[in-house]
Structure 1
Amino acid sequence: MKKTIFITGASRGFGRIWTETFLKRGDNVVATVRNTDSLKELSAEFPENLLVLPLDVTDKKASFDAVAKAKSHFGVIDVLINNAGYGHFGAIEELEEQEIRTQFETNVFGLIWVTQAVIPVMREQKSGHIIQVSSVLGVIALPTLGIYSASKFAVEGLTESLAAEVTSFGIKVTLIEPNGYATDFGLSSAIQSKPLEQYDIVRAALQEGNKEEDYGVPEATSEAVLKLIDAENPPLRLLLGRAGVQWTKYAYGERLKTWEEWQEVSEAAHGK
Protein backbone atom coordinates (compact mmCIF):
# COMPACT_ATOMS: atom_id res chain seq x y z
CA MET A 1 0.00 0.00 0.00
CA LYS A 2 1.28 3.46 -0.92
CA LYS A 3 2.65 5.36 2.07
CA THR A 4 3.63 8.94 2.81
CA ILE A 5 7.04 9.02 4.46
CA PHE A 6 8.70 11.99 6.17
CA ILE A 7 12.48 11.50 6.34
CA THR A 8 15.16 13.82 7.71
CA GLY A 9 18.77 13.94 6.56
CA ALA A 10 17.83 12.82 3.05
CA SER A 11 20.70 14.31 1.09
CA ARG A 12 23.22 11.48 1.48
CA GLY A 13 23.98 8.12 3.05
CA PHE A 14 21.05 6.06 4.27
CA GLY A 15 18.69 9.00 3.89
CA ARG A 16 19.36 9.40 0.18
CA ILE A 17 19.31 5.65 -0.50
CA TRP A 18 16.02 5.10 1.33
CA THR A 19 14.41 8.17 -0.24
CA GLU A 20 15.16 6.83 -3.71
CA THR A 21 13.90 3.38 -2.71
CA PHE A 22 10.57 4.74 -1.49
CA LEU A 23 10.07 6.91 -4.57
CA LYS A 24 10.86 4.08 -6.98
CA ARG A 25 8.17 1.87 -5.48
CA GLY A 26 5.62 4.70 -5.68
CA ASP A 27 5.50 6.08 -2.15
CA ASN A 28 5.13 9.78 -1.38
CA VAL A 29 8.21 11.21 0.31
CA VAL A 30 8.80 14.40 2.25
CA ALA A 31 12.59 14.71 2.26
CA THR A 32 14.19 17.31 4.51
CA VAL A 33 17.71 18.52 3.84
CA ARG A 34 19.86 21.50 4.73
CA ASN A 35 20.43 22.28 1.04
CA THR A 36 17.51 21.57 -1.31
CA ASP A 37 19.83 21.63 -4.35
CA SER A 38 21.15 18.23 -3.23
CA LEU A 39 17.87 16.61 -4.35
CA LYS A 40 17.26 18.57 -7.57
CA GLU A 41 17.59 15.50 -9.79
CA LEU A 42 15.15 13.48 -7.72
CA SER A 43 12.68 16.36 -7.66
CA ALA A 44 12.74 16.48 -11.46
CA GLU A 45 12.31 12.72 -11.73
CA PHE A 46 9.49 12.45 -9.17
CA PRO A 47 7.65 15.81 -9.27
CA GLU A 48 4.35 14.40 -7.96
CA ASN A 49 5.68 12.11 -5.23
CA LEU A 50 8.54 14.11 -3.72
CA LEU A 51 8.34 17.21 -1.54
CA VAL A 52 11.76 18.57 -0.61
CA LEU A 53 11.91 20.92 2.37
CA PRO A 54 14.88 22.79 3.83
CA LEU A 55 15.36 21.93 7.48
CA ASP A 56 17.93 22.21 10.22
CA VAL A 57 16.46 19.82 12.79
CA THR A 58 18.06 21.74 15.66
CA ASP A 59 15.57 24.54 14.93
CA LYS A 60 12.44 23.52 16.84
CA LYS A 61 10.07 25.96 15.11
CA ALA A 62 11.38 24.99 11.68
CA SER A 63 10.84 21.31 12.51
CA PHE A 64 7.19 21.93 13.44
CA ASP A 65 6.70 24.08 10.34
CA ALA A 66 8.14 21.35 8.09
CA VAL A 67 5.78 18.74 9.51
CA ALA A 68 2.83 21.11 9.05
CA LYS A 69 3.80 21.70 5.40
CA ALA A 70 4.11 17.96 4.82
CA LYS A 71 0.66 17.33 6.32
CA SER A 72 -0.84 20.16 4.25
CA HIS A 73 0.78 18.90 1.03
CA PHE A 74 0.01 15.17 1.23
CA GLY A 75 -2.77 15.16 3.81
CA VAL A 76 -1.21 12.38 5.87
CA ILE A 77 2.12 11.24 7.35
CA ASP A 78 2.26 7.47 7.64
CA VAL A 79 5.92 7.09 8.56
CA LEU A 80 8.51 9.35 10.17
CA ILE A 81 12.17 8.38 9.79
CA ASN A 82 14.42 10.49 12.00
CA ASN A 83 17.67 9.94 10.13
CA ALA A 84 19.44 13.31 10.48
CA GLY A 85 22.60 13.09 12.55
CA TYR A 86 26.37 12.74 12.44
CA GLY A 87 29.25 11.12 14.27
CA HIS A 88 31.75 12.94 16.46
CA PHE A 89 35.12 11.28 17.03
CA GLY A 90 37.16 12.09 20.10
CA ALA A 91 38.19 10.67 23.46
CA ILE A 92 36.16 12.05 26.36
CA GLU A 93 39.08 14.18 27.57
CA GLU A 94 39.48 15.66 24.08
CA LEU A 95 35.91 16.92 23.75
CA GLU A 96 35.23 20.66 23.82
CA GLU A 97 32.03 21.89 25.46
CA GLN A 98 30.53 23.18 22.20
CA GLU A 99 31.33 19.90 20.43
CA ILE A 100 29.35 18.02 23.06
CA ARG A 101 26.42 20.40 22.89
CA THR A 102 26.31 20.35 19.09
CA GLN A 103 26.33 16.54 18.98
CA PHE A 104 23.34 16.42 21.29
CA GLU A 105 21.56 19.33 19.58
CA THR A 106 21.48 17.36 16.33
CA ASN A 107 21.29 13.71 17.32
CA VAL A 108 18.98 14.06 20.33
CA PHE A 109 17.19 17.40 20.45
CA GLY A 110 16.64 17.54 16.69
CA LEU A 111 15.11 14.07 16.79
CA ILE A 112 12.88 15.10 19.70
CA TRP A 113 11.57 18.22 17.91
CA VAL A 114 10.55 16.34 14.78
CA THR A 115 9.03 13.53 16.84
CA GLN A 116 7.01 15.99 18.93
CA ALA A 117 5.79 17.68 15.77
CA VAL A 118 4.57 14.47 14.13
CA ILE A 119 2.86 12.82 17.13
CA PRO A 120 -0.30 15.02 16.99
CA VAL A 121 -0.64 14.30 13.26
CA MET A 122 -0.43 10.55 13.80
CA ARG A 123 -2.62 10.69 16.91
CA GLU A 124 -5.35 12.42 14.89
CA GLN A 125 -4.97 9.78 12.15
CA LYS A 126 -5.03 7.02 14.79
CA SER A 127 -2.10 5.47 12.91
CA GLY A 128 1.56 5.98 12.09
CA HIS A 129 5.05 4.59 12.50
CA ILE A 130 7.92 6.54 14.06
CA ILE A 131 11.34 5.16 13.15
CA GLN A 132 14.41 6.51 14.95
CA VAL A 133 17.78 5.82 13.36
CA SER A 134 19.99 4.88 16.27
CA SER A 135 23.12 2.73 15.94
CA VAL A 136 24.69 -0.42 17.28
CA LEU A 137 26.76 2.18 19.16
CA GLY A 138 23.56 3.06 20.98
CA VAL A 139 23.80 -0.43 22.47
CA ILE A 140 27.57 -0.91 22.69
CA ALA A 141 30.12 1.89 23.20
CA LEU A 142 33.56 2.11 21.65
CA PRO A 143 36.54 4.25 22.70
CA THR A 144 36.83 7.66 20.97
CA LEU A 145 33.14 7.52 20.00
CA GLY A 146 31.81 8.12 23.50
CA ILE A 147 29.85 11.31 22.81
CA TYR A 148 28.25 9.80 19.71
CA SER A 149 27.31 6.70 21.70
CA ALA A 150 25.97 8.88 24.50
CA SER A 151 23.66 10.62 22.03
CA LYS A 152 22.43 7.31 20.65
CA PHE A 153 22.00 5.78 24.11
CA ALA A 154 19.79 8.82 24.83
CA VAL A 155 17.78 8.13 21.68
CA GLU A 156 17.35 4.51 22.77
CA GLY A 157 16.00 5.46 26.20
CA LEU A 158 13.60 8.16 25.11
CA THR A 159 12.30 6.02 22.23
CA GLU A 160 11.58 3.06 24.49
CA SER A 161 9.51 5.38 26.67
CA LEU A 162 7.86 6.90 23.60
CA ALA A 163 6.76 3.47 22.37
CA ALA A 164 4.86 2.83 25.60
CA GLU A 165 3.34 6.32 25.59
CA VAL A 166 1.86 6.34 22.07
CA THR A 167 0.78 2.74 21.50
CA SER A 168 -2.82 3.50 22.55
CA PHE A 169 -2.97 6.13 19.78
CA GLY A 170 -2.27 3.49 17.13
CA ILE A 171 1.32 4.71 16.66
CA LYS A 172 4.11 2.17 16.23
CA VAL A 173 7.73 2.91 17.15
CA THR A 174 11.00 1.32 16.02
CA LEU A 175 14.70 1.91 16.64
CA ILE A 176 16.97 1.04 13.71
CA GLU A 177 20.46 0.05 14.91
CA PRO A 178 22.93 -0.25 12.00
CA ASN A 179 26.48 -1.48 12.43
CA GLY A 180 29.22 0.19 10.38
CA TYR A 181 28.41 0.72 6.71
CA ALA A 182 30.43 2.00 3.76
CA THR A 183 28.93 5.50 3.92
CA ASP A 184 30.64 8.82 4.66
CA PHE A 185 29.84 8.48 8.40
CA GLY A 186 33.52 8.41 9.34
CA LEU A 187 34.59 10.67 6.46
CA SER A 188 33.10 13.95 5.22
CA SER A 189 30.09 13.92 7.55
CA ALA A 190 32.16 13.26 10.69
CA ILE A 191 33.61 15.77 13.15
CA GLN A 192 36.96 15.18 14.84
CA SER A 193 38.11 16.67 18.11
CA LYS A 194 41.64 18.03 18.39
CA PRO A 195 43.60 14.89 19.32
CA LEU A 196 45.77 14.46 22.40
CA GLU A 197 48.79 12.25 21.75
CA GLN A 198 48.07 10.26 24.91
CA TYR A 199 45.15 8.63 23.10
CA ASP A 200 47.00 7.75 19.92
CA ILE A 201 47.47 4.18 21.19
CA VAL A 202 43.71 3.87 21.76
CA ARG A 203 42.96 5.11 18.24
CA ALA A 204 45.53 2.76 16.76
CA ALA A 205 44.05 -0.24 18.58
CA LEU A 206 40.58 0.66 17.38
CA GLN A 207 41.78 1.04 13.82
CA GLU A 208 43.64 -2.25 13.97
CA GLY A 209 40.43 -3.99 15.06
CA ASN A 210 38.48 -2.67 12.08
CA LYS A 211 37.73 -5.39 9.56
CA GLU A 212 36.46 -4.66 6.07
CA GLU A 213 33.92 -7.48 6.32
CA ASP A 214 32.33 -5.80 9.36
CA TYR A 215 31.17 -2.91 7.17
CA GLY A 216 27.91 -3.51 5.37
CA VAL A 217 26.74 -2.40 1.92
CA PRO A 218 24.43 0.62 2.43
CA GLU A 219 22.11 -0.27 -0.46
CA ALA A 220 21.45 -3.67 1.14
CA THR A 221 19.50 -1.95 3.94
CA SER A 222 16.71 -0.83 1.60
CA GLU A 223 14.86 -4.13 1.56
CA ALA A 224 15.01 -4.37 5.35
CA VAL A 225 13.56 -0.87 5.74
CA LEU A 226 10.75 -1.63 3.28
CA LYS A 227 9.88 -4.77 5.24
CA LEU A 228 9.93 -2.73 8.44
CA ILE A 229 7.54 0.00 7.29
CA ASP A 230 5.21 -2.58 5.74
CA ALA A 231 5.12 -4.81 8.83
CA GLU A 232 1.82 -5.05 10.66
CA ASN A 233 3.65 -5.50 13.97
CA PRO A 234 7.13 -3.97 13.61
CA PRO A 235 9.73 -4.60 16.31
CA LEU A 236 10.82 -1.97 18.82
CA ARG A 237 14.42 -2.61 17.78
CA LEU A 238 15.91 -3.77 14.48
CA LEU A 239 19.64 -4.37 14.09
CA LEU A 240 21.00 -3.84 10.59
CA GLY A 241 24.10 -5.82 9.64
CA ARG A 242 25.66 -9.13 10.55
CA ALA A 243 28.43 -7.62 12.69
CA GLY A 244 25.96 -5.69 14.83
CA VAL A 245 24.00 -8.84 15.62
CA GLN A 246 27.18 -10.65 16.68
CA TRP A 247 28.53 -7.74 18.76
CA THR A 248 25.23 -7.20 20.54
CA LYS A 249 24.74 -10.85 21.42
CA TYR A 250 28.25 -11.01 22.84
CA ALA A 251 27.92 -7.74 24.76
CA TYR A 252 24.61 -8.69 26.35
CA GLY A 253 25.96 -12.13 27.22
CA GLU A 254 28.85 -10.49 29.08
CA ARG A 255 26.48 -8.10 30.86
CA LEU A 256 24.26 -10.93 32.01
CA LYS A 257 27.28 -12.83 33.32
CA THR A 258 28.41 -9.80 35.34
CA TRP A 259 24.94 -9.13 36.75
CA GLU A 260 24.59 -12.77 37.77
CA GLU A 261 28.04 -12.81 39.40
CA TRP A 262 27.06 -9.76 41.46
CA GLN A 263 23.42 -10.77 41.99
CA GLU A 264 23.86 -11.49 45.70
CA VAL A 265 25.30 -8.01 46.28
CA SER A 266 22.55 -6.45 44.18
CA GLU A 267 19.76 -8.18 46.06
CA ALA A 268 21.30 -7.40 49.48
CA ALA A 269 21.28 -3.74 48.47
CA HIS A 270 17.47 -3.89 48.29
CA GLY A 271 17.39 -3.68 52.09
CA LYS A 272 14.36 -5.85 52.85
Structure 2
Amino acid sequence: MSKVILVTGAGRGLGKDIALEALAAGHQVVATGRRPEQVETILGGSQDNLLVTKLDVTRPEDGEAAVRAAIDRFGHIDVLINNAGNLFTGYFEEISPAQMRQQFETNLFGPMNVTRAVLPVLRKQRAGHIITITSTAGLVGTEFTSAYAASKFAEEGWMESLHHDVAPYNIHTTAVEPGYFRTEFLGDGSTNWPELAIDDYAPRTAPRIEGMKSMNGQQPGDPTKLARAVLTIAHQDKPPRRFIAGADAIGAVEAKAKELLAQAEASRELGDSLAYDDART
Protein backbone atom coordinates (compact mmCIF):
# COMPACT_ATOMS: atom_id res chain seq x y z
CA MET A 1 0.00 0.00 0.00
CA SER A 2 1.39 3.38 -1.03
CA LYS A 3 2.16 5.87 1.73
CA VAL A 4 3.06 9.55 1.85
CA ILE A 5 6.51 9.67 3.43
CA LEU A 6 8.32 12.86 4.46
CA VAL A 7 12.09 12.40 4.72
CA THR A 8 14.49 14.97 6.15
CA GLY A 9 18.09 15.14 4.97
CA ALA A 10 17.23 13.47 1.66
CA GLY A 11 20.13 14.99 -0.26
CA ARG A 12 22.80 12.57 0.92
CA GLY A 13 23.52 9.54 3.05
CA LEU A 14 20.78 7.36 4.45
CA GLY A 15 18.08 9.95 3.67
CA LYS A 16 18.92 9.71 -0.01
CA ASP A 17 18.71 5.92 0.09
CA ILE A 18 15.40 5.97 1.95
CA ALA A 19 13.91 8.40 -0.56
CA LEU A 20 15.14 6.38 -3.56
CA GLU A 21 13.89 3.09 -2.13
CA ALA A 22 10.53 4.63 -1.23
CA LEU A 23 10.07 5.99 -4.76
CA ALA A 24 11.05 2.64 -6.26
CA ALA A 25 8.43 0.95 -4.06
CA GLY A 26 5.71 3.28 -5.35
CA HIS A 27 5.38 5.59 -2.36
CA GLN A 28 4.71 9.32 -2.55
CA VAL A 29 7.80 11.01 -1.18
CA VAL A 30 8.32 14.47 0.26
CA ALA A 31 12.11 14.74 0.04
CA THR A 32 13.57 17.65 1.97
CA GLY A 33 16.98 19.19 2.40
CA ARG A 34 18.81 22.46 2.83
CA ARG A 35 19.67 22.43 -0.89
CA PRO A 36 16.52 21.31 -2.73
CA GLU A 37 18.16 21.54 -6.16
CA GLN A 38 20.75 18.99 -5.01
CA VAL A 39 18.01 16.72 -3.64
CA GLU A 40 16.08 16.85 -6.92
CA THR A 41 19.18 16.05 -8.96
CA ILE A 42 20.12 13.10 -6.78
CA LEU A 43 16.60 11.65 -6.80
CA GLY A 44 16.19 11.90 -10.56
CA GLY A 45 14.34 15.14 -11.22
CA SER A 46 10.62 15.75 -11.58
CA GLN A 47 8.33 12.79 -10.81
CA ASP A 48 4.62 12.54 -10.08
CA ASN A 49 5.29 10.81 -6.76
CA LEU A 50 8.06 13.18 -5.67
CA LEU A 51 7.86 16.57 -3.99
CA VAL A 52 11.18 18.23 -3.22
CA THR A 53 11.12 21.13 -0.79
CA LYS A 54 13.64 23.14 1.18
CA LEU A 55 13.98 22.26 4.83
CA ASP A 56 16.67 23.29 7.27
CA VAL A 57 15.59 21.38 10.36
CA THR A 58 16.97 24.08 12.66
CA ARG A 59 14.39 26.54 11.27
CA PRO A 60 10.86 25.80 12.59
CA GLU A 61 9.30 27.85 9.78
CA ASP A 62 10.92 25.54 7.20
CA GLY A 63 9.27 22.54 8.84
CA GLU A 64 5.89 24.23 8.81
CA ALA A 65 6.29 25.20 5.14
CA ALA A 66 7.33 21.66 4.17
CA VAL A 67 4.27 20.18 5.89
CA ARG A 68 1.95 22.66 4.15
CA ALA A 69 3.53 21.81 0.80
CA ALA A 70 3.10 18.08 1.46
CA ILE A 71 -0.59 18.50 2.33
CA ASP A 72 -1.19 20.73 -0.70
CA ARG A 73 0.40 18.14 -2.99
CA PHE A 74 -0.63 14.79 -1.52
CA GLY A 75 -3.47 15.59 0.91
CA HIS A 76 -2.00 13.88 3.97
CA ILE A 77 1.19 12.51 5.56
CA ASP A 78 1.54 8.91 6.73
CA VAL A 79 5.15 8.70 7.85
CA LEU A 80 7.74 11.21 9.02
CA ILE A 81 11.33 10.00 8.88
CA ASN A 82 13.60 12.28 10.92
CA ASN A 83 16.93 11.51 9.31
CA ALA A 84 18.86 14.79 9.04
CA GLY A 85 21.79 15.02 11.42
CA ASN A 86 25.49 15.66 11.77
CA LEU A 87 28.45 14.72 13.94
CA PHE A 88 30.61 16.93 16.12
CA THR A 89 33.37 14.69 17.33
CA GLY A 90 36.20 15.15 19.81
CA TYR A 91 37.07 15.05 23.47
CA PHE A 92 34.65 17.11 25.56
CA GLU A 93 37.11 19.87 26.51
CA GLU A 94 38.14 20.33 22.89
CA ILE A 95 34.59 20.80 21.64
CA SER A 96 33.70 24.48 21.90
CA PRO A 97 30.44 25.52 23.59
CA ALA A 98 29.25 26.81 20.22
CA GLN A 99 29.90 23.41 18.62
CA MET A 100 28.02 21.64 21.41
CA ARG A 101 25.01 23.90 20.88
CA GLN A 102 25.14 23.36 17.13
CA GLN A 103 25.16 19.61 17.71
CA PHE A 104 21.96 19.81 19.74
CA GLU A 105 20.32 22.29 17.37
CA THR A 106 20.60 19.82 14.49
CA ASN A 107 20.33 16.42 16.18
CA LEU A 108 17.72 17.16 18.86
CA PHE A 109 15.88 20.41 18.28
CA GLY A 110 15.89 19.82 14.51
CA PRO A 111 13.75 16.66 14.57
CA MET A 112 11.65 18.22 17.32
CA ASN A 113 10.93 21.19 15.03
CA VAL A 114 9.79 18.98 12.16
CA THR A 115 7.81 16.64 14.41
CA ARG A 116 6.06 19.62 16.00
CA ALA A 117 4.99 20.73 12.51
CA VAL A 118 3.77 17.25 11.48
CA LEU A 119 1.95 16.17 14.64
CA PRO A 120 -1.19 18.32 14.16
CA VAL A 121 -1.70 16.58 10.81
CA LEU A 122 -1.22 13.11 12.28
CA ARG A 123 -3.50 13.83 15.25
CA LYS A 124 -6.24 15.09 12.96
CA GLN A 125 -5.91 11.91 10.89
CA ARG A 126 -5.76 9.76 14.06
CA ALA A 127 -3.00 7.86 12.27
CA GLY A 128 0.68 8.17 11.48
CA HIS A 129 4.18 7.01 12.24
CA ILE A 130 7.20 9.01 13.39
CA ILE A 131 10.53 7.30 12.70
CA THR A 132 13.65 8.99 14.03
CA ILE A 133 17.13 7.86 13.06
CA THR A 134 19.20 8.12 16.22
CA SER A 135 22.37 6.03 16.64
CA THR A 136 23.98 3.30 18.65
CA ALA A 137 25.65 6.31 20.29
CA GLY A 138 22.22 7.16 21.67
CA LEU A 139 22.41 4.05 23.83
CA VAL A 140 26.15 3.52 24.30
CA GLY A 141 28.58 6.34 25.02
CA THR A 142 32.12 5.95 23.71
CA GLU A 143 35.40 7.85 23.67
CA PHE A 144 35.59 10.96 21.46
CA THR A 145 31.79 11.23 21.02
CA SER A 146 30.61 13.26 24.02
CA ALA A 147 28.73 15.89 21.98
CA TYR A 148 27.20 13.44 19.52
CA ALA A 149 26.27 10.87 22.16
CA ALA A 150 24.76 13.56 24.39
CA SER A 151 22.50 14.74 21.55
CA LYS A 152 21.52 11.20 20.62
CA PHE A 153 20.87 10.12 24.22
CA ALA A 154 18.56 13.15 24.46
CA GLU A 155 16.88 12.18 21.20
CA GLU A 156 16.30 8.68 22.54
CA GLY A 157 14.70 10.02 25.72
CA TRP A 158 12.47 12.34 23.72
CA MET A 159 11.30 9.54 21.43
CA GLU A 160 10.70 7.14 24.31
CA SER A 161 8.51 9.70 26.05
CA LEU A 162 6.84 10.91 22.85
CA HIS A 163 5.42 7.40 22.37
CA HIS A 164 3.29 7.82 25.49
CA ASP A 165 2.12 11.28 24.43
CA VAL A 166 0.86 10.31 20.98
CA ALA A 167 -0.12 6.63 21.24
CA PRO A 168 -3.74 7.53 22.20
CA TYR A 169 -4.11 9.11 18.74
CA ASN A 170 -2.98 5.96 16.90
CA ILE A 171 0.40 7.50 16.14
CA HIS A 172 3.35 5.11 16.29
CA THR A 173 6.95 6.02 17.10
CA THR A 174 10.15 4.18 16.27
CA ALA A 175 13.73 5.08 17.13
CA VAL A 176 16.26 3.49 14.76
CA GLU A 177 19.74 2.93 16.20
CA PRO A 178 22.18 2.18 13.37
CA GLY A 179 25.73 1.04 13.86
CA TYR A 180 28.32 1.90 11.21
CA PHE A 181 26.86 2.10 7.70
CA ARG A 182 28.69 3.01 4.51
CA THR A 183 27.19 6.45 3.97
CA GLU A 184 28.93 9.82 3.64
CA PHE A 185 28.34 10.49 7.35
CA LEU A 186 32.06 10.37 8.25
CA GLY A 187 32.91 12.71 5.39
CA ASP A 188 33.61 16.41 5.75
CA GLY A 189 30.05 17.36 4.81
CA SER A 190 28.60 15.73 7.93
CA THR A 191 31.49 15.36 10.39
CA ASN A 192 32.95 18.34 12.26
CA TRP A 193 36.27 18.15 14.09
CA PRO A 194 37.01 19.88 17.44
CA GLU A 195 37.72 23.61 17.32
CA LEU A 196 39.84 23.72 20.46
CA ALA A 197 43.23 22.14 21.13
CA ILE A 198 44.55 21.06 24.54
CA ASP A 199 48.06 19.65 24.84
CA ASP A 200 47.03 16.86 27.20
CA TYR A 201 44.66 15.44 24.57
CA ALA A 202 46.89 16.01 21.53
CA PRO A 203 48.54 12.54 21.49
CA ARG A 204 45.07 10.96 21.44
CA THR A 205 43.17 13.45 19.24
CA ALA A 206 45.19 13.16 16.04
CA PRO A 207 45.10 9.33 15.88
CA ARG A 208 41.35 9.37 16.61
CA ILE A 209 40.68 11.77 13.76
CA GLU A 210 42.82 9.80 11.34
CA GLY A 211 41.13 6.57 12.42
CA MET A 212 37.68 7.99 11.77
CA LYS A 213 38.73 9.35 8.38
CA SER A 214 40.18 5.99 7.38
CA MET A 215 36.92 4.27 8.34
CA ASN A 216 34.94 6.36 5.84
CA GLY A 217 33.89 4.07 2.99
CA GLN A 218 34.84 0.95 4.95
CA GLN A 219 31.85 0.74 7.31
CA PRO A 220 30.29 -2.75 7.44
CA GLY A 221 26.62 -1.79 7.00
CA ASP A 222 24.84 -1.44 3.64
CA PRO A 223 22.70 1.74 3.68
CA THR A 224 20.41 0.45 0.91
CA LYS A 225 19.51 -2.55 3.07
CA LEU A 226 18.95 -0.27 6.04
CA ALA A 227 16.67 1.96 3.95
CA ARG A 228 14.60 -1.07 2.97
CA ALA A 229 14.43 -2.18 6.60
CA VAL A 230 13.17 1.25 7.67
CA LEU A 231 10.46 1.12 4.98
CA THR A 232 9.50 -2.39 6.14
CA ILE A 233 8.98 -1.00 9.64
CA ALA A 234 6.93 1.87 8.21
CA HIS A 235 4.50 -0.74 6.82
CA GLN A 236 4.05 -2.74 10.00
CA ASP A 237 0.75 -2.55 11.87
CA LYS A 238 2.61 -2.76 15.19
CA PRO A 239 6.06 -1.32 14.51
CA PRO A 240 8.81 -1.64 17.13
CA ARG A 241 9.52 1.31 19.38
CA ARG A 242 13.22 0.63 18.80
CA PHE A 243 15.01 -0.96 15.87
CA ILE A 244 18.70 -1.70 16.46
CA ALA A 245 20.30 -1.84 13.02
CA GLY A 246 23.46 -3.78 12.23
CA ALA A 247 25.30 -6.66 13.86
CA ASP A 248 27.77 -4.22 15.44
CA ALA A 249 24.92 -2.21 16.95
CA ILE A 250 23.16 -5.29 18.30
CA GLY A 251 26.38 -6.51 19.95
CA ALA A 252 27.03 -3.11 21.53
CA VAL A 253 23.48 -2.80 22.86
CA GLU A 254 23.51 -6.34 24.25
CA ALA A 255 26.73 -5.54 26.13
CA LYS A 256 25.23 -2.29 27.44
CA ALA A 257 22.09 -4.10 28.63
CA LYS A 258 24.21 -6.58 30.56
CA GLU A 259 26.24 -3.75 32.04
CA LEU A 260 23.08 -1.95 33.19
CA LEU A 261 21.73 -5.10 34.83
CA ALA A 262 25.04 -5.62 36.60
CA GLN A 263 25.07 -2.00 37.79
CA ALA A 264 21.49 -2.30 39.06
CA GLU A 265 22.41 -5.43 41.01
CA ALA A 266 25.56 -3.78 42.40
CA SER A 267 23.42 -0.85 43.55
CA ARG A 268 20.80 -3.00 45.23
CA GLU A 269 22.15 -3.19 48.79
CA LEU A 270 22.70 0.55 49.13
CA GLY A 271 20.04 1.70 46.66
CA ASP A 272 17.22 -0.34 48.19
CA SER A 273 17.80 1.24 51.61
CA LEU A 274 16.89 4.80 50.66
CA ALA A 275 13.11 4.82 51.24
CA TYR A 276 11.77 7.46 53.64
CA ASP A 277 11.06 6.01 57.07
CA ASP A 278 7.69 7.46 58.11
CA ALA A 279 8.04 5.87 61.54
CA ARG A 280 11.24 7.71 62.44
CA THR A 281 11.07 10.33 65.18
Same topology, TM > 0.5: yes
Out of 190, 195, 198, the residue aligned to residue 196 of structure 1 is 198
Matched, 1:226 2:227: no
Task: Give the Cα–Cα distance (whole angstroms) in 2 for the partners of residues 261 and 65 of structure 1.
Answer: 51
Out of 246, 250, 255, the residue aligned to residue 245 of structure 1 is 250
Q: Which amino acid aligns with 1:109?
A: F
Residue deviations 1:178-236 (CA, integer Å, cap 9, x gap): 0011222222210111343422454447949x989863121221221121011110010
Shift of 1:38: 1.1
Structure 2: stretches of 5+ with no match in the other structure: none
Report the RMSD for the aligned CA atoms in angstroms. Answer: 2.0
Shift of 1:250: 0.6
| Aligned residue in 1 for 2:39 | 39
Q: Which amino acid aligns with 2:141?
A: A
Structure 1: stretches of 5+ with no match in the other structure: none
Residue deviations 1:142-200 (CA, integer Å, cap 9, x gap): 11111111101111111111100101101000001000112222222101113434224
Q: Which amino acid aligns with 2:239?
A: P
Shift of 1:251: 1.2
| Aligned residue in 1 for 2:2 | 2
Residue deviations 1:106-163 (CA, integer Å, cap 9, x gap): 1111111111111110011110000011000000011111111110111111111110
| Aligned residue in 1 for 2:134 | 134
Task: Give the Cα–Cα distance (whole angstroms) in 2 for the partners of residues 159 and 52 of structure 1.
Answer: 26
Task: Give the Cα–Cα distance (whole angstroms) in 2 for the partners of residues 160 and 259 of structure 1.
Answer: 21
Identity of counterpart residues, as a percentage?
35
Say which SS state the counterpart of residue 234 (structure 1) adopts: coil
Shift of 1:241: 0.4
Task: Give the Cα–Cα distance (whole angstroms) in 2 for the partners of residues 43 and 146 of structure 1.
Answer: 34
Shift of 1:95: 1.4
Pick closer, same or farther for the CA change 1:104–1:167 going to 2, 3 Å. Answer: same
Matched, 1:261 2:266: yes
Which range moves more in the overlay, 55-64 or 40-49? 40-49
Shift of 1:39: 2.4
Task: Give the Cα–Cα distance (whole angstroms) in 2 for the partners of residues 49 and 196 of structure 1.
Answer: 51
| Aligned residue in 1 for 2:220 | 215
Task: Give the Cα–Cα distance (whole angstroms) in 2 for the partners of residues 165 and 266 of structure 1.
Answer: 30
CA contact (8 A) 1:23 1:46 kept: no
CA contact (8 A) 1:214 1:243 kept: no
Task: Give the Cα–Cα distance (whole angstroms) in 2 for the partners of residues 28 and 17 of structure 1.
Answer: 15
Task: Give the Cα–Cα distance (whole angstroms) in 1 for the partners of residues 183 and 39 of structure 2.
Answer: 18
Task: Give the Cα–Cα distance (whole angstroms) in 1 for the partners of residues 8 and 148 of structure 2.
Answer: 18
Q: Which amino acid aligns with 2:75?
A: G
| Aligned residue in 1 for 2:89 | 89
Say which SS state the counterpart of residue 102 (structure 2) adopts: helix
CA contact (8 A) 1:43 1:51 kept: no
CA contact (8 A) 1:181 1:216 kept: yes
The count of residues paired between Structure 1 and Structure 2 equals 271
Task: Give the Cα–Cα distance (whole angstroms) in 2 for the partners of residues 127 and 91 of structure 1.
Answer: 42
Task: Give the Cα–Cα distance (whole angstroms) in 1 for the partners of residues 273 and 162 of structure 2.
Answer: 32
Residue deviations 1:225-267 (CA, integer Å, cap 9, x gap): 1210111100100011000000110111012112101211111
What does residue range 148-187 of structure 1 map to in structure 2 within 5 Å? 148-187=148-187
Say which SS state the counterpart of residue 270 (structure 1) adopts: coil
Task: Give the Cα–Cα distance (whole angstroms) in 1 for the partners of residues 253 and 21 of structure 2.
Answer: 28
User: TM-score under structure 1 normalisation?
Assistant: 0.94
Shift of 1:3: 0.3
Say which SS state the counterpart of residue 272 (structure 2) adopts: helix
Say which SS state the counterpart of residue 230 (structure 2) adopts: helix
CA contact (8 A) 2:32 2:39 kept: no
Q: Which amino acid aligns with 1:235?
A: P
Residue deviations 1:85-124 (CA, integer Å, cap 9, x gap): 1011111111111111111111111111111111110011
